[in-house]
Structure 1
Amino acid sequence: MPHVDIKSFPRDFNDEQKTALANAITEVIIRHFNSKESSVSVALNAVAEENWKAQVWDTEIAPQMEMLIKKPGYSL
């Protein structure tokens, strides 16, 4: 039951772009996890740039840096 939770800024997506993104991510998850399409869920959460450090970097990225399979090329 893979769940993908994407947090990003400053990009706004229309519904068609969100659907295309979710479909592309779902295809990759199905291929790599050998999952069914019905078991995949994808969330897209916009985070204001001024809130990125407190809401994402400080709570999800920095504390888990050693566990990340793809580390960011920036630091705060």
Structure 2
Amino acid sequence: MPHVEISHFPADLDAAARARLDADITAAVTRAFGVRDGAVSIGLAPVPKEEWTERIHRPLVTERADPAGLLRSPDY
């Protein structure tokens, strides 16, 4: 605990970019939740652009069952 799942358009992240992303997210999560870094897991979930609205935006943003659980909304 906690787990962060990042849905994103397909992107080729090299090892350095993946390491930076890991370090940045882990630092923010450990600071916010007061856990050790070994307790954090992070998943990357590429979603094709043409499937984004149906798979991500609609169910997880605009029609989210618990709107209070959405920390930040996109501006599109």
TM bin, normalised by shorter chain, reads 0.7 to 0.9
Question: Structure 2 length normalisation: TM-score?
Answer: 0.84
Give the aligned length. Answer: 74
Matches within 5 A, 1:1-76: 1-64=1-64, 66-67=67-68, 68-74=70-76
Structure 1 unaligned spans of 5+: none
Aligned alpha-carbon RMSD (Å): 1.6
Give secondary structure in 2 for the equivalent of 1:42. Answer: strand
State the AA in 2 paired with 1:33: F
Identity %: 30
State the AA in 1 paired with 2:71: I
Structure 2 unaligned spans of 5+: none
